[in-house]
Structure 1
Amino acid sequence: MADKKFKQTFMGIPIEKHDTAAWADIEEMKAISQVNLPAEEDIRNAKEYVDTNQK
């Protein structure tokens, strides 16, 4: 029972940090679908990060 209470207490704390994600800095949004479009530089940085961290 104590394990369940612990889990319920910390369910709201996110595990990942999305501060540096490409979609974190929104340059504009599409009108109908509300999809955010990041800046071109953020897209390049995200691609570079993915390319350098491939196995």
Structure 2
Amino acid sequence: MRSLLIALQQVNIEEKLKTAPDGNYQVGVLIGSFVPFIVLVGLAYFLYYRAKKKEKNLNN
């Protein structure tokens, strides 16, 4: 089930860029492809910061 969901979510960015109607669409596609990565990095940083803060409070 999970592999089917992943297969459905995969998007060919290169194909979208080739068939883009104008430059603004290309910029939107590139930004949209980086948003999930940025969100994951932000979440990882938040969890790391929270874990360090908790560790510091336990040591005091």
Name the TM-score class by shorter chain.
under 0.3
Report the TM-score, using the length of structure 1 for normalisation.
0.28
- Larger % of strand: which? 1
Higher relative contact order (CA 8 A, sep 6+): 1
Report the TM-score, using the length of structure 2 for normalisation.
0.27
